[in-house]
Copies of this chain bind each other. A is one copy, B any other.
C-alpha cells in the first residue's frame, strides 16, 4: 500500500482520537453544568454538539475515500473498517453530554440533582473525561493492552452507577419521583458514554486478535 494511504490513515486515526477526547471534554462541561445548574454552560455544550457531529461526518467521508481510492486489503482493510465503526462510537460518545445538558436546561433554575448525589455525578464525570482521553490514546496508539484497561474505567463507572441504583431503590428516597427519573436517565447517559469507549477498545483488541464481540 502506498505511503499516501498510510499517511491518510494516520491522519484519520488522529482525528478519531481527537473526537474521543472532544467528547470527553463535552461531558466534562455537561457535568460542571449539572453540578452547578449552570444553564449558560449547558447551552454552550448543546451548541458544541454539532461540531462533534460534523467532525464525525468528515472523518467518515475520509474513511470512505481511503476505501474508494486505495482498495486496501487484509490488515489495512480491517483498520479502515474499524476506523469507520470507531467514528460512529466516538460520535455517540458525544451524545451523553448533549442529553445531560438538556436535562440541566429543562430543570433550570432548579438543580436537577439533589445535593447529596452530586458526589456520584462528579465521580462519573471524572471517569468519563478519563475514558475519553484514554480512548484517544488507545485509538492513536492501537495498543491492545491499553485498550483492555478501558474496561477498568468502565467497571468503575458501573460501580458508581450501581450505588446510585441502590439509593434509588431505597425506601428512604426523599427527593421525589421527578428527581428519581432525572437521576435514572443521567446515570444511564454516563454509562452509555463508557460503553461506547469500551466498544472502541474492544475493536482495537479485535484488530490484533481477530475476535469480534458486540456490546449489549
Chain A residues packing against B (C-beta within 8 Å):
49, 53, 56-57, 60-61, 64, 67-68, 71, 73-74, 77-78, 81, 84-85, 88, 91, 95, 98-99, 165, 168-169, 173, 177-178, 180-181, 184-185, 188, 212-214, 216
Of B49, B56, B68, B98, the residue contacting A77 (CB under 8 A) is B68
Give chain B residues whose Cβ lies under 8 Å from the Cβ of A188. 185, 188
CB pair A212–B60 under 8 Å, yes or no, is yes
Rounded to whole angstroms, the CA-CA distance of A73 and B67 in the bound complex is 8
Copies in the complex: 2
Of B84, B98, B177, the residue contacting A216 (CB under 8 A) is B98
Contact (A169, B178) CB under 8 Å given A77-B68, A81-B84: yes
CB pair A81–B53 under 8 Å, yes or no, is no
Rounded to whole angstroms, the CA-CA distance of A173 and B184 in the bound complex is 16
Kindly provide the distance from the CB of A197 to the nearest chain B CB, expressed in whole angstroms.
16
Q: Chain B CB within 10 Å — which of A57, A88, A91, A180 has the most?
A: A180
Rounded to whole angstroms, the CA-CA distance of A99 and B191 in the bound complex is 14
Contact (A81, B56) CB under 8 Å given A169-B177, A181-B180, A184-B184: no
